[in-house]
Amino acid sequence: MMKNLLLVGAGLVLFAGSFAGVALVSGRHPSEIPGLSWIARKPFEAPPPAPAHEMPAPRKAPSDGEADGPQRVEPALAGAGGLLGAFVMPAPYTASEIHELQQSLRKALGDAQARLVDIERRETRAAEWEQSVEQRRGELAQLRTLLEQKESELKGREIALKRDAQAKDERDEASWKEIAGFFEEGDSDELGARLAEFEPEKAAKILGHLEDARARELVNALPKDKYKAYLEAYRARKGY
């Protein structure tokens, strides 16, 4: 029992000390704090002197219903205000500062939302541009593949044409070599007259498959009006 009483007493003392500390920290005079007003007296303040021409108005006599009402309520409210006021701390911001802070936060929020919309729009444009670039890249890759195929086909055709032309030239040279066999032996004047029946370039092909001495004999046997043209064709054939 004694132990419980000691605990209760210690709790009351601790509460009283905390209450007094908070009240003193709040800046109030000890005489304004309930429970301490009997220890510390309120400092005396002389009332300001009233002007000589002003006299206090006579007080109205209270009615029966109002005789004790205000006198009972005011001390209770004063005591309650002093008790609660010990724990009331001054506000860090005024109403105007809070309003300005709200306006600033709303403006910052609006700017952030507008910037977010702009960023989303840019991201959408970038995604569309990237998609377009990828599509163009695919089209270019297909076009490059098609061009490579066409180039390969052209090279194949060129090789085939060169091969066909070479084969044709070989067949042509073989035929002129066979014809040149008719001019290897025989009378040069008679064979020169026959050689003059061919065009100079074709006659040069025949002479090109003969020995140089036999070719000179046939060229010298040509008519004078055809000698120079056939000789130049033969020189071109031999690469002179």
Residues 116-145: pLDDT tens digits? Answer: 999 999 999 999 999 999 999 999 999 999
Dump the DSSP string for 150-166: HHHHHHHHHHHHHHHHH
User: Do 200 and 170 reside in the same domain of the chain?
Assistant: no
Letter for the amino acid at 146? Answer: L
SS3 content of the chain, % helix, strand, coil (to 5): 70, 0, 30
Question: Would the pTM of this model clear 0.85, i.e. be above it?
Answer: no
Confidence category of residue 172, pLDDT binned at 50, 70, 90: confident
Residues 29-60: pLDDT tens digits? Answer: 555 555 555 555 555 555 555 554 444 555 55
Is residue 46 included in any domain, yes or no? no
Is residue 202 included in any domain, yes or no? yes
User: Do 178 and 200 reside in the same domain of the chain?
Assistant: no
| pLDDT score at 20 | 60
| pLDDT score at 70 | 44
> Token pair of 208, please?
């090109």
| pLDDT score at 73 | 43
> Is pLDDT larger for residue 240 or for residue 79?
240
User: Do 124 and 177 reside in the same domain of the chain?
Assistant: yes
User: Do 168 and 192 reside in the same domain of the chain?
Assistant: no
Range with the lowest mean pLDDT among 15-19, 46-50, 152-156? 46-50
Is residue 227 included in any domain, yes or no? yes
Is residue 57 included in any domain, yes or no? no
Confidence category of residue 79, pLDDT binned at 50, 70, 90: very low
User: Do 178 and 214 reside in the same domain of the chain?
Assistant: no
Instruction: Give the residue numbers spanning the domain of 130.
Output: 108-183
Q: How many CA atoms lie within 13 A of 23 on its CB side?
A: 21
- Domain end (from 183, 214, 230): 183
Mean confidence (pLDDT) of the chain: 76
Over range 90-104, report the average pLDDT. 81
User: Do 133 and 172 reside in the same domain of the chain?
Assistant: yes
| pLDDT score at 169 | 86
Residues 6+ apart with CB under 8 A from 218: 183, 188, 191, 192, 195, 207, 210
User: Do 168 and 221 reside in the same domain of the chain?
Assistant: no
**In contact, 230 and 222? CB cutoff 8 Å:** yes
Whether the pLDDT of residue 78 is over 50: the answer is no
User: Do 175 and 199 reside in the same domain of the chain?
Assistant: no
Dihedral of CA atoms 54, 59, 60, 65 in degrees, nearest 10, equals 150
- Domain end (from 138, 153, 183): 183
User: Do 120 and 168 reside in the same domain of the chain?
Assistant: yes
Is residue 40 included in any domain, yes or no? no
User: Do 139 and 175 reside in the same domain of the chain?
Assistant: yes
Is residue 62 included in any domain, yes or no? no
Whether the pLDDT of residue 148 is over 90: the answer is yes
Is residue 49 included in any domain, yes or no? no
- Domain end (from 183, 203, 225): 183
Is residue 160 included in any domain, yes or no? yes
